[in-house]
Each structure stands twice: as structure tokens, then as C-alpha cells.
Structure 1
Amino acid sequence: MTAKPATARYRRSRWITIPLRIMLGFVLLSLLLVTIYRFVPPPVTMTMLLDPKGITKDWTSLDEIDPDMARAAIAAEDGKFCSHHGFDVDAIAKAAMHNASGGRIRGGSTISQQTAKNVFLWQGGGFVRKGLEAWFTVLIEAIWGKRRIMEVYLNVAETGIGTYGVQAGAIRYFRHGADRLSRAEAARIAAVLPLPKKRAAVAPSGFTRRYGNTIAARIGVVQREGLDRCVR
């Protein structure tokens, strides 16, 4: 008569311990991956693996990328990159208000969030992916630091069809390495980042050309105001 309650308690405990073990395993695995990628370049990402156009990339250290490229990324994607801790609350709130009013969808993701998504997750939305993105953003901010985040971002971001990283992008568009990027060239690559499959940095027209010119002007502001101080 006493076996049934014991068995029921055992089953209930299994329903509790199994999810806890899965969560603990995920936490430990994610910590391990983030720690490894602090020192080792991520070999491939899910976005790359799912790209039907193949993968063209060439990992390049931040020291070997022209400083204006990091400034262009900050000017275009995340003006508060050096001052926030992974999330720009004001940008997220403004994006939410804009999207609620209709029109073109605007994102509020920081460079840190984009890096977390690009390296560890998949493209697209959904609460699950957003939650995981937030988790990995906290981890890379704590373990990598800003300079490493920028270095990884500039190496895994899609810069063209089947092209990943600014080194591969610079060679594709301008026939030279990222260490020789002019301010205008860096701005053009940054202008491509939001829609790399639809925009091109060579002879851009319309919005891409205007946006690239705006970014080029902002690069000087980023430099003068020290908005890139964390990656120097």
C-alpha cells in the first residue's frame, strides 16, 4: 500500500528534475561556448550554414580592420555601443512605438544583440529566440567585452550574398582588404548591413546611396565625440 505514493512522488520529482537538468546543461554549454569564442573565432554560424549561396569569409582581427569600419558600424547601427550594457532601452522603446504606428518595421537591436543572434542563434523573430538573444547578449557583454564584441560582429555580419565579414565584403566590393577601407567605403558596407541580400556597396543608388552618405558624415562625429573609445 505504501509503494504507490512513493512511486507517485518519484514521478513528480522526475518532472521537476529533468527540466532543471536540461536548463543547467544549457547554461553550462552556453557559458562554455561564449568562453571559447572569447579567444577562438566562431568557425561557422547557423545563418552561414543555411545560406544557399554558400559561405565566403575571412576572419580578420580588429587591429587589421580600418578604424573607420568600426566607427561606421557604430554610426549606423548603435550610437550608444560604448555606453550601454548590451541593450539600448530608449532605442527599443522608440522602435516599438514606431512599429505600432505602422509603416516600415524598425528594429532597436544593439550591435551586442545582433552579434549574439548572429553567432549563437538563427534569423527571424519570436519570443523564444528573443529570450535566448537576451541571454547570450548578457553573457558576451560580461565575458567578451566591447572590443571583442565588435571584432566578432565585423567578422560574422552578412555583407553581401553569401559573403560574411567586412574583410570578405571589402574584397568583394572594392578589391582590397578591410585594412585599406576609405571612410566612404566603410560607410557603404555599413549601409548594406541591414539588408545585405538586397543592397550593394558598389555604385549604390537611391536610399542606399543616401544612407551611405549619412553614415560617412556620422563617422566623423563618432570619432570626435569618442563614441568608439571602447574599441580603440
Structure 2
Amino acid sequence: MIKRFGLVLLLFLAACGQEQQDPVLTSELTSPVDVTLHWRPEAGAAGQVVEYANAADGEYTILEFSPSSRDTYKHPDLIPETQFYYRVRPFTGPPSATVDVTLPPGDEVPEIEGPDWTAAVKGGGGTHAVSSPESAAAGLRAEVKHANGILFTWEDRAADEDGYLIEVKPAGAADYRVAVQLDPDTTSYGVITLPDEKTATYRVRAFRFGAPSNLTHQTTGKV
């Protein structure tokens, strides 16, 4: 019995040692006020959510929804002599079909007259788990409202989503980026576009967060 207990203890310690040696997330100070993160992407995830707080048990703020092709993030120009805690979380969920949008020339954003078409609208009622391909939003439509505004509408088919993402891939870009994070059951939202989004491809994604990674901690230096 003693020998068996000793073997179990050794295996447990070895597993703990492996976890400590091979964390999902690591970080480094690349200057006194710049932190660079590196992580191991989770297989099958749509990407990773990068988050930070100023205390280990503090309120975490999302820095970026990174695509699955990326495994690093630079957090620049931070407050000197301050603690920063980081974690990443995978997010999953099937994307909708895409729509291509070409906006007319111009850079003005006119004032909205009448109802606010940019406001999020909730009309949920989906019945499919986000883990199912059938939860992908259906019927995505894009209505150009002006030279820098697009109204997106879609059918919510997900039942357990943490929210929706509107994702954009500007012409010439290598990958999609998240333009907007929305609440669960959203079926409409108006986007005011960025200058590089005059011609772009869009999609929406019902998503769920996965479990957070290990925490990594850095304290910025003096400048």
C-alpha cells in the first residue's frame, strides 16, 4: 500500500510539474512599459480573448478577440510601476454566411434623424446549442445607410450563446477581426465603419467563452 501511494504521489507531482513548465499563457516585459503575451491556441477554437486586470481577482477587461491564427499580443505604453495580470480564454461558435459591402465615397457620419438604427435589437429565440453548426446565424443582410454606416440584421438560431460578434475582413486583409461584441439574442445592429472598411466582407458569430488560462503577471518599470 505504501509503495502504491508513493507511486501515485510521484505521478501527481510530475503532472503538477508539467503544468507549471508548460503554461498556456506566458508574458514578458519587452520594455519598462510594454508587455508581450504568448499563448498556445486551443485546437478547434475560433480564437482567443485576451484580457487584463490590475489585480489577480480584479475585474478583467477585454483587450482583443484574437483569431485562431494568432498566438501573441503586445500591450503597449502602460502605466509605469503598475501591476498587470493577464489571461486568455478560447471562444467557439460557428460563423454565419458572409456578405460583401462596398460603401460610397465620403467620410462624414450624418446625425441620425428618427429612430436610432444603430441600436442593438434583441429578437432571439434560437433553439440550437452553440456547439452545433445549426446555431450559426441565418439570413445575414447588410443595408448601407450612408457612406460610413451599415445596418446588419440576422436570425438568431443559438440558444446558449454568451453573445454575438460582428466580424469584418477589410479588402486585402489576411483575416477577420471583431468589429463589435453584442449581447445574447441580438438580431440587428448598426455599425459605423472604420476608414479601411470601405470595401469589406462581414459575418456574425454566436459565441461562447471557454475556460480561462493560467494567469501571468508583470509589473511595469520606471520611465
Q: Structure 2-normalised TM-score?
A: 0.26
| Higher strand content, 1 or 2 | 2
Which structure carries more helix by proportion? 1
TM-score normalised by structure 1 residue count: 0.25
